[in-house]
């Protein structure tokens, strides 16, 4: 029930046990009766988020490569993406309206621009954390620039890249709700409508689903990161095995460092500081 009618029917609703009429915050009846509405809003929220993050990754990757390749482009690329991130979301969507009109493209474009800051910085951090020894070894084996990038540098920079992707995705889930100002905010549409009419169950339910989406996206991406970077888990287990065997910290690798292949294990630490 919307508007002032919810307040007028409150007493009668409580007497009859109807949480919708009573306009209660927690209302299972709202979930069952508005299931399709919630599903449609959730589906819109998910596809806007996914499309935005994928497009942002496709744009951020060449920007990061350009910034690394040409020193003159480094500062402008980081500066521009940082400036874009400082623009308030409402102002960003308002500025994009004359270009795209009222539609989902406004929300997607805004999310892409916001995601560039995190993605570009993390891609650069990951690439810069690749050990020089690994690059030199690959060149010695005849790797060209393209094969070096995709066969050596990108795999070793995955921890930093995935950390940026997780942050960008969670941020996109949250900022998608602001798209309700143009009618394409997914769950944000329900939140804003519920706030206008003080429909408590709608506001709380849509907000909880939005939070769950963010948590689920982060957990899924973390799982993907762990699958793609098995050396991180292997590196984390090495010190424990050394201590269990009663060896000192310098006895495992001869100088207190990791075993052969250890340079790879230093990548997550360098990437994590940047992320």
Residues 60/160, Cβ–Cβ less than 8 Å: no
pLDDT for the residue 143: 77
Q: Which residue has the tokens 């982060």?
A: 218
pLDDT for the residue 273: 38
What CA dihedral angle connects 146, 147, 150 and 152, to 10 degrees?
-130
Secondary structure class of 141 (helix, strand, coil): coil
Q: Which residue has the tokens 């905010």?
A: 185
Q: Which residue has the tokens 């230093």?
A: 266
Neighbours of 9 (CB within 10 A): 17
pLDDT for the residue 193: 86
Cα separation of 205 and 260, whole Å?
52
Q: Which residues contact 130 (CB under 8 A, 6 or more apart)?
A: 152, 153, 156, 157, 267
Neighbours of 121 (CB within 10 A): 22
Neighbours of 208 (CB within 10 A): 12
Q: Using the CB atoms, write b or e for 91-120: b if 16+ within 10 Å.
A: ebbeebeeebeeebebbbbbbbbbbbbbbb
Cα separation of 133 and 10, whole Å?
71
Tokens describing residue 58: 């496709």
Extended beta strands in the chain, E state? none
Cα separation of 126 and 143, whole Å?
19
Which parts of the chain have pLDDT scores under 70? 1-17, 231-275
Cα separation of 22 and 170, whole Å?
34
Q: Using the CB atoms, write b or e for 221-246: b if 16+ within 10 Å.
A: beeebeeebebbeebeeeeeebeeee
Neighbours of 69 (CB within 10 A): 10
Cα separation of 120 and 182, whole Å?
28
* Cα angle 58-63-67, degrees, rounded to a multiple of 5: 155
Residue ranges in 177-258 assigned as alpha helix (H): 187-197, 200-228, 230-244
Percentages helix, strand, coil for the chain (3-state, rounded to 5) are 80, 0, 20
């Amino acid at each position: 029930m919307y508007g002032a009618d919810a307040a007028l029917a409150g007493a009668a609703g409580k007497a009859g046990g109807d949480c919708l009429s009573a306009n209660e915050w927690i209302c299972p009846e709202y979930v069952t009766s508005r299931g399709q509405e919630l599903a449609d809003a959730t589906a819109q929220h998910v596809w806007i988020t996914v499309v935005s993050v994928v497009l942002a990754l496709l744009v951020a990757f060449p920007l990061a490569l350009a910034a690394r390749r040409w020193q003159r482009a480094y500062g402008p690329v980081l500066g521009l993406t940082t400036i874009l991130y400082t623009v308030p979301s409402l102002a960003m969507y308002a500025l994009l309206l004359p270009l795209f009109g009222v539609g989902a493209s406004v929300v997607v474009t805004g999310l892409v621009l916001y995601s560039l800051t995190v993605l570009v910085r993390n891609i650069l951090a990951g690439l810069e954390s690749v050990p020089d020894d690994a690059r030199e070894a690959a060149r010695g084996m005849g790797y060209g620039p393209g094969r070096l990038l995709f066969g050596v540098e990108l795999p070793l920079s995955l921890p930093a890249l995935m950390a940026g992707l997780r942050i960008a995705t969670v941020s996109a889930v949250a900022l998608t709700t602001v798209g309700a100002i143009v009618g394409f905010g997914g769950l944000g549409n329900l939140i804003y409508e519920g706030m206008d009419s003080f429909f408590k169950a709608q506001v709380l339910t849509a907000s909880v689903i939005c939070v769950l989406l963010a948590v689920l996206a982060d957990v899924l991406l973390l799982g993907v990161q762990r699958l793609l970077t098995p050396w991180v888990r292997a590196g984390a287990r090495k010190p424990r095995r050394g201590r269990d065997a009663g060896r000192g910290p310098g006895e495992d690798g001869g100088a207190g460092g990791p075993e052969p292949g250890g340079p790879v294990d230093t990548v997550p630490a360098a990437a994590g500081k940047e992320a």
